[in-house]
Amino acid sequence: MKWNTNMDEAPRDGTAIQARIPGHGEDNIIAWDEAYIDSANRPCGSWTYVEDREPPEDWTDGVCWEVNEDGKPSTQPTAWTHLPPPPDGTEGE
């Protein structure tokens, strides 16, 4: 598995990726979601958990905010990789 440490190169079209998050390992499945509104009521995007797994404590409601509900920054992902393809015969099931 090849990790890319440039998060700016990660897909921002809703495609799920595997991400390395400091203090939370490498098995995080996240995707960029543009469906949020920031504290100034402007549209914004953010990394969001897309699987049923416990996100880092500083990700409010499974979302990586620049500033979370506690007024602190969320831990940002530092590397990403594409998800492996599903085993043969399971796609679309």
pLDDT of 91: 55
pLDDT of 4: 98
Question: Does the pLDDT value for residue 70 go beyond 60?
Answer: yes
Q: Would you give the distance in Å from CA 68 to the centre of its chain?
A: 15
pLDDT of 92: 53
Facing residues of 29 across strands?
18
Model confidence pLDDT, tens digit, residues 13-61: 999 999 999 999 999 999 999 999 888 899 999 999 998 889 999 999 9
In the predicted model, what is the mean pLDDT of residues 53-77? 92
Alpha-carbon distances of 79 from 5, 8, 17, 43, rounded to whole Å: 4, 10, 10, 25
pLDDT of 38: 83
In the chain, domain spans: 7-82
